[in-house]
Structure 1
Amino acid sequence: MSDLVIPAPTLPTVPTTTGGRFPVRRIFCVGRNYAAHAREMGHDPDREPPFFFTKPADAIVADGADTPYPSVTQRLEHEVELVAAIGTGGSDLAQEDALGHVWGYAVGLDLTRRDLQAEAKRLGRPWDTAKGFDASAPIGAIAPAAEVDPTSGTVELRVNGDLRQSGDLADQIWSVAETVAELSRFVTLAPGDLVMTGTPEGVGVVRRGDTLDGAITGVGSVRTTIV
């Protein structure tokens, strides 16, 4: 007989291109990792150390599923990103070893309540409610690392077929290897962790009824409709 006082929560999972499912433990996100995006958000794109924020694992929306428009915002915005899925954990990883801890890669959307984020920045408060809300992380199928080059590839986001964001993984200020190694200084990475690696320029507002299509060359795609 279980001694749990409430039913255990279901472990979120993401499909893989191999047919299995990847169990998700935590979601880490790196901010302002493309110079052009840093500029459009009003920040200096010089190579300062990366900073991180989180989303709950159950914020994931399956590829192709609808995403409910969140409450308490008048400005929901899209950010398309490469997602690294950690397969083996560790702390204080060396940069040259970091990619060896990645099981695979996917395309994800970091949906953001931009008005709440702006207010939090103004007041010097955390971004949790702006970034870590329900259904804030649509993610496509994860492709094995051996099939992906995380250093280059076109990154695009279309809304209702219109191109909104376009960049290249080669434009990242911090490479995936550098990001994973730096993150491992602050937390012990574990199998099941996801790392969203930042978005190129062109972030913008989405509304109910909009269909978002994110794609990264050599990685895959993700689609969701805001309802």
Structure 2
Amino acid sequence: MITAIAIDDEPKAIQVIQHHADKLKNINLLSSFTDAQEALKYLKENPVDLVFLDINMPHLSGLELLDNLHLKPQVIFTTAYSEFAVESYNYNAVDYLLKPFEFDRFQQAIHKVEQRLELQKQTHSYCFIKDGFKNIKIAFEEILFIKGSGNYLDIVTKAKTLTTRMTFLEMVEKLPASKFVRVHQSYLVNVEHIDKIENNQVYIASEKIPISGRYRDVLYRRLDLA
């Protein structure tokens, strides 16, 4: 499932994206924004696989938004201005949809995203975590959840817990957005290991992890429970 958000200062343009996305089972449009600055705040805390992004927006353009992101998602530009096409590909955009675009063209763009994400999955299935003077290799699939405390993280795997000096933002940049979601200011969980959700808690193995109100909606939309 591709997780995505839409950013466009025109509500009608977002409605079109939502309408097209609703026809596809492989994409989950988690949220939409008409204010690019609000979208930027969201993305810094809730990384996604894909962003549908208008370029010509007031206060903060689509290109400026990308310049402010450390972790850049896949991008499909959606704009009424063809003159931005060349510049957009400097940002390694997956596709460029010129408004108004029909469902077939939208579907083609999503297929390109699938192909690129699959290629990433094949080439990046692990990361290295610093432990003192050592760098330890950890497979993404082995990570159950991550707990933060100040500038330190406890990375809990099936076999052990590794403590490392790292911020959440630094860790998020290493992880695939399709597998991990933040559920609390201090917790990031691997969605593939969630056993159940009950009483504002996520159950993973024998652990009960709290879900805060700030992240609840994101989690539920991510799991298609909203």
Relative to the length of structure 2, the TM-score reads: 0.24
Q: TM-score, normalised by structure 1?
A: 0.24
Q: Which structure has the higher relative contact order (CA within 8 Å, separation 6+)?
A: 1
